[in-house]
Structure 1
Amino acid sequence: MALTDHVLAVCPDLPPDRLRLFGSSRRPLQLRDQRPLIEPLDALSGLGNGEWLILHAAIVGGDRVDGGDLQEMRRRNDALLGRVLALADMADTRRLVTVSSGAVGRPDMGPPDRVAYTAMKREHEAVVADWARRTGKSVLVPRVFNLGGPFINHTEAYALGAFILALARRGRITIGAADPVFRSFVHVSEMARVILDMAVDETQSAEPFDVGGAEVVELGALARAVGQALGRSDPPIERQEPGDGPGDWYVGDGRRYQGALFRRGEHPTPLARTVADTVAYLAATGALDET
């Protein structure tokens, strides 16, 4: 959504046959004052003439599979990547961008479904690298860590969204972790701008890189930032006394990403802005009023 929104902001008169969106079913998106159409990927026969950037950011999560079957989730995602690579084979592909995950760097952390997801992403990176070597076509592999801003989905699955909903609906935030938990958020619209710039930059290598923010925040400070965005300068936060462990660091090495941002003439989006834009989007969709 953020990638498409940025393309439409920069090129509002782009012909429909030069911006093709694909998903599991046919449906329109409402972005700005336009309604671009998502086409079924399964029915695709080709893209047409001219050079193309192909961006693969889709994932079939466990919530889309009956019973959360991990083998079926893997089968569907393998098939999805296969269709994307077949599409890139058919087209005059200037670059294929495949969005990976920061979890690749932590292969054994988390419950079984998280470990399976991480293994899949790591192996998909290898498949894409092999495809690039075989075809001679360029790829870009950003590893996403923590995003905020508009278009947030699976809201309660991640700390930022869960904190916003908890404070808006129940008037308090509960943090289950006693040891410190560190994150580094990137505004999704900023990421869209940078990734699209990198996609047309011939000097960018195929080596995966981290979409890492410049500002590291512990969950307690994130909860207070959510409070500020919701007009609660001192939000009630329920949390155990902190332990002595080193904490959970999931922030990424953002040097390559931040360098590309700098070359755009931009500075990293402040955490307060990222949180405020996330709140504004959820408020506009009515999510803050649900119980």
Structure 2
Amino acid sequence: MPELPEVEGVVRALKPVVEGKTIERVALSDVVFASTNAGKQCIVKNIEPHLFEEVLAGMIIKEINRRSKYIFFTIEKDGEDFVLVNHLGMTGAWFIVQDVLEITEVKFRKHVHAILTLNTGELLVYSDIRRFGELRFVKQIADHPPLLQMAPEPFDEDACGFFLAQCAKAKYENKPIKEVIMDGQVISGCGNIYATEALFKMNIHPGRKTNRISRARKIKLFEAIRVILQESIDTGGSTISDYRNINGEAGGMQHRLEMYGKKVCPTCGNATKSMVIGGRTSVYCSNCQK
């Protein structure tokens, strides 16, 4: 699943080539319509697909921003602002092309679910192989309450204090630290990859209960998360499987990962172990992480 660095990379790539342009028309895939007809909403949420296509036509893309793992497209028509909220899910990706056939990887080309034709003739294409992502049209962020529950950005001044306060709450203090730091209401944008790396860097076992980690060590853990997220942003994110930027290019952070997906600990040479925490497989070194 794309985490904060990968989503940041998509936003940075989209901004200079999409902001200020007008959406002339929108075409959704047959899969989107079929899922709605079957009583399930696939990709397009909280609005009927035909209406989604209709309301976006003529909208100007004023600004694109990231918040946690979400992409916010601020769009405007007749002086009125709206927001198109996008979550990439497990395998979502955006492409800017003249023709869908320019998407080089077949797996993305076969799973195109939204094509936004811009006034420049370019196509802003959303592809999602596993279809866990979403496109949500709202008047304002407050119209989708879960978006208001996100923790501060990890680079914000108050983010560490917020993290410490959340860790002290009864709902978190007895949970494994790995589960806590992957919770978007505790730290924004830190998923399985970077939680694994930060815990290894700090020699903390992913299953250790949060209340068994000192305040000083929690602060250092938070700093480690911040450093790793920034390093990943700087190297274009991690392409483990299906993450691509808008040009179809992979990131480079996967070559720097020390524990995620590894069979052998790079520090002691012991075989790594794994356990399921918060529904995700956690790889760790039982010798180095306590």
The structure whose residues are more often helix, as a share, is 1
Calculate the TM-score normalised by the size of structure 2.
0.25
The structure whose residues are more often strand, as a share, is 2
Calculate the TM-score normalised by the size of structure 1.
0.25
